[in-house]
Each structure stands twice: as structure tokens, then as C-alpha cells.
Amino acid sequence: MDEFMQAALDEAKAGVAEGGIPIGSVLVHKGKIIGRGHNRRVQQGSVVLHGEMDALENAGRQPASVYRESVLYTTLSPCPMCSGAILLYGIPKVVIGENQTFQGDEALLTSRGVELDVRQEPGCIHLMETFIRERPDLWNEDIGE
């Protein structure tokens, strides 16, 4: 596992340690993490703070050129909301830890020219499988079911 996916996985573990949903993300620009985050819906009572959204928020306001030169790493396939943010800001590449437990809007992303690198990282898969088994109610809430 590379350092950026490891950073995203560390964020996911922080989220579950806080009583939240274990999905983490980092935004990388020119080899440097400029934003990191994890799903904080439970912790903040938020409807939008998925891991990817939290990483974008924590990166702060950036020029459009920065997003167009960045890579988003996420432990889980991006949902429709997060995929929309990826498209809105023109992020050209997304590295996905796994899409076995949940497959988001990958078809939309690829149809719009976003490069996807799906890794099927065992650590990401194990974390989500455990969470879904132990907290199906919270997981279903997070994905809108």
C-alpha cells in the first residue's frame, strides 16, 4: 500500500474510532497531501461530510488549477455526491481502496474522463466488511437506504 492510500486508511480508522463510519480520503497535489478527512456524518451531525467531502473541505479554497492537477485517494468507491464534487472541481484521477463492499458512481466518473485506479486493498475491504456487519443501520443511513 502506498503512503497516500495508507494516509486515507488512517483517516478511515480515525473515523471509526470516533464512532463514525470508516471511510477516509486524502487530496494529493504534486506529491503532497493538501487535504485529509474522514466521514464525519455521525460526529458532526452532517448530511454531507463523507470522507472525500471532508478532505476537500480541509484542503480549503484552492485555485481551479490545483484541483485539475490533483489525485484524490479514497478508501471506498465514491458515492454520487462525492463523484459530483470530483467532477465539479475537475479532479482528473481517483485512487480507490476498494469497491467490493460498495460501488459508487464509477461509470459516471469514467464516462467523464476521470481516471480510476481501483486497488482492492485488503485493509480497506476488511475495515468496511467489519463495519457493515457490526453497524448495518448506520451504513444503510450513510448510503441513503
Among 100, 87, 119, 133, residue whose Cα is nearest residue 8: 119
* Sequence letter at residue 63: P
Percentages (nearest 5) of helix, strand, coil residues in the chain: 50, 20, 35
Residue 35 contacts residue 57 (beta carbons within 8 Å): yes
- Determine the Cα–Cα distance for residues 145 and 54; give it in Å rounded to an integer: 21
133: CB partners within 8 A, 6+ apart:
none
Instruction: Note the Cα 103 to chain centre separation in Å.
Output: 12
Residue in 3, 11, 18, 52 annotated catalytic: 52
Active-site annotation holds for 52: yes
SS3 assignment, position 20? coil
Q: So which residues are the catalytic ones?
A: 52
